[in-house]
Structure 1
């Protein structure tokens, strides 16, 4: 019997899932389950090496937290298979893995016995003295601004995940219409690009943030990153794309993207982010590269 570590974010998403419900559903399928509320009990970090199987029950932030902890461990522990119970608002990572988001929690769990483990690459961001990792994307400009803005706004009045996504898209639209473009320089493998951009994203999966599908052809297992630049002259076109998302149209941004294994970039925007964590841009050159075959995720 496999030792399963259940790492649960109790605050994720719309629905309240209790410890007893999740453990019963998992143990019913033959897994020996050890439960940790990931935001309130850090002892899971000591147990992660001993698990045969890890379950991340929450949203994109929960998954990233688990992966970053695995990265601190010995390399072989990065290949402990884990599954996702998508309980968050956007669930970009789950959607990128061809998940069954319409299934109940119980049906998700049942599917793990017959599902294959999908290879999952991720990105590494090297600054002068630090390294950080991303599963979704890292970049400059509009999305980093949106993270900062949403962190300062109360969303308690919003009833469900759909309302939260729509609200975030409406705030993004305001930024698209008013933000200044910033000069940038990118060396992607051996190719050089420069210009003035509203947004630069180094994508590992097709979507980021409030389900913005910026790189629909991105693959999690191709050993490549997808670089998306929204130029100043594309402002109106990008605003139209956001408006269509607000109106619940299921569409993807069809701008050009660049595939590369590694890149160096400098951007003059004040705003940057790594996944859902925003920071002030140091204006120094960043080095970003793919770390391929890094994870195994049960679909």
Structure 2
């Protein structure tokens, strides 16, 4: 809906408001066809009263009254504003205000009395048409649906939110009729009014953020560019490839870039060959859209070339994007990739037994954290996203103790016991956990954390102490090291991972930080 021409929501809004106008005329004129339908509300109110539903209905009435709806709307707008979706926040405030004012004005103009059979407790004597509960609940549900379409990537989650919002509106409407507060035509009119104003708001004021190309001055360029753009796309990470291509092409041309050349990853090649070909073809900027694995492959191939990489996160973890402050909203990420500023960041060369020389951008792990990645059910991951990692973590909580040796910057090996070893190039890891608060992706250093909870229940206080940086009380449960190069050896083969991708069990990892090796596009 948000990517379609504005005529689409405008036509839908006009249709809703015309139906509302016809209904308002019929109610004012006392059309018999409406009166016959409205009279059935008397039987429904008697039915609800006879089954002792008053307490539940009254609670719903109070929860969806004008003041609570206003509170919900303000909270939602504040959250959107805090998340830098300012236009969405403005749309929420405008639609909800317009709905409230329109409802009150129309009540006064039409002047319809309440049903004579309404519940006596909490009796209302204000005007009935249209229902304020129905109009404002519909408007709030409508803006929530707009936000879901805009921000929620998984289709099943969007559908779930959509079903929930429809049920909310139906519950609000049923509540008004079962309490006898409104006629059927009152609640139908409220739904048409609220829905029409949401559609009208979207048609007149898009909640999508404005491009940096329109709001910021162009950045100075050291060398003239031909504005050749390449996009490396993992096609299974976007719902509609054609729609995604259209969005990128429109935004690219609008930002002064040439229409992009497209390179699609395959099962056999998850980004290396595509990035190499984009470089050979003379790209001035390569945008990569995919999960952490695709991003890692493209970044490793373009490191040292001077070609900046724009990241459009489309995976479950999106670790590099999160640490660089790149938003997960696809349009905003594309905008930053096209119009952001370049930042030189570190990458890490990694070697070990049983693996070819490779690189990572975010973290490497041995033990518990790698066992989590290894144990993730891909089918569950496709359906519920990051929750699959939580389920896998619960199964792996008592990963056995490892005997490790750690050497930093070529120094002597020190011996340790741990359940997990994480070598981070950044501070924030899976789930936004700030495990290494002093780490920076451009400081030329690696940060090593060893965690050793001795018992099952020791995980919770240990994690709390680590995140609150009260590690002196953790005793031997936490060990930290910092250096440019790190070697970790285990006494037995253990699970290993790089940037969330498992690389098979082994005993060793050799890691070296290469300072400022890669250019990436970040927010200005």
TM range (shorter): 0.7 to 0.9
Deviation at residue 239 of structure 1 after TM alignment: 4.3
1:116-131 aligned within 5 A: 116-127=341-352, 130-131=356-357
Q: 411, 421, 424: which one pairs with 1:203?
A: 424
d(CA) in 2 for partners of 1:234 and 1:187? Answer: 27
Q: Distance in 2 between matches of 1:157 and 1:288?
A: 31
How far apart, in 1, do the equivalents of 2:251 and 2:291 lie? 19
Match of residue 19 from structure 1: 245
* 5+ residue gaps, structure 2: 1-225, 472-478
**Secondary structure class of the residue paired with 2:418:** strand
- Cα 1:253–1:289, aligned 2, differ >3 Å: closer, same or farther? farther
Q: Which of 362, 365, 368 matches 1:139?
A: 365
Per the alignment, do residues 194 and 296 of structure 1 end up closer, same or farther by CA in structure 2, a change over 3 Å counting?
same
1:47 to 257, 265, 278: 278
Q: Deviations over 1:10-64 (max 9, x none)?
A: 2226787532222222222111111222237855532323211111122222211
Report the alpha carbon displacement of residue 116 of structure 1 after superposing the two structures with TM.
Answer: 2.3
What is the alpha-carbon distance in structure 2 between the residues aligned to residue 22 and residue 113 of structure 1? 9
1:188 corresponds in structure 2 to 408
Partner of 2:300: 68
Q: 1:78-122 deviations in whole A, cap 9, x for unaligned? A: x21111112222211011112233x551x4444456532111101
Does structure 2 retain, via aligned residues, the 8 Å contact 1:196–1:232?
Answer: no
Aligned residues of 1:215 and 1:257 also touching (Cα < 8 A): no
Aligned-pair distance for 1:237? 4.3
- Contact (CA 8 Å) 2:233, 2:262: kept in 1 or not? yes
Count how many residue pairs are aligned between Structure 1 and Structure 2: 278
Residue of structure 2 aligned with 1:86, choices 313, 323, 328: 313
Q: Identify if the C-alpha distance between structure 1 residues 7 and 253 changes in structure 2 by more than 3 Å, giving closer, same or farther.
A: farther
* Whole-angstrom distance in 1 between the partners of 2:446 and 2:455: 22
Partners of 1:287 and 1:80 in 2: how far apart?
27
CA RMSD of aligned residues (A): 3.0
The offset of 1:291, in angstroms, is 0.8
TM-score, normalised to structure 1, is 0.80
Alignment deviations for residues 106-149 of structure 1 (CA, whole Å, 9 cap, x no partner): x4444456532111101111336842111111121012112221
Contact kept in structure 1, 2:232 and 2:274, CA below 8 Å = no
- Within 2, Cα distance between the matches of 1:234 and 1:222? 35
For the pair 1:5 / 2:5, whether they are aligned, the reply is: no
Relative distance call for 1:14 and 1:144 in structure 2 (3 A) is farther
Q: Residues of 2 paired with 1:93 and 1:293: CA distance?
A: 15
Q: CA 1:62–1:126 in structure 2 vs 1: closer, same or farther (change >3 Å)? A: closer
* Aligned residue in 2 for 1:226: 447
Structure-1 separation of matches of 2:382 and 2:337: 36
Partner in structure 1 of residue 375 of structure 2: 149
For 1:266-293, what per-residue CA distance to the aligned partner results, in whole angstroms no more than 9, with x for missing partners? 113521122233234332x432110111
Structure 2 residue matching 1:219: 3-state secondary structure:
coil
Instruction: Report the CA distance shift for 1:207/1:188 in structure 2 as closer, same or farther (over 3 A).
Output: same
User: Which ranges in structure 1 are unaligned for 5 or more consecutive residues?
Assistant: 245-250
- CA distance in 1: counterparts of 2:249 and 2:468, whole angstroms: 39
Counterpart among 277, 290, 296 of residue 519 in structure 2: 296
Quick check: 23-32 or 274-283, which moved more? 274-283
Greater per-residue strand proportion: 1
Paired position in structure 2 for 1:238:
459
8 Å CA contact retained: 2:227, 2:284:
yes
User: Which deviations, in whole Å up to 9, do the C-alpha atoms of 1:191-240 show, x marking residues without a partner?
Assistant: 65322111001111223445444223321100001101111437634346
Q: 1 CA distance for matches of 2:327 and 2:360?
A: 23
The answer to which of 115-124 and 210-219 deviates more is: 210-219
Structure 1 distance, partners of 2:455, 2:428, is 19
If asked which structure has higher relative contact order (CA below 8 Å, sep 6+), I would say 1
The DSSP-based 3-state class of the residue aligned with 1:94 is helix
1:260 to 479, 483, 492: 483
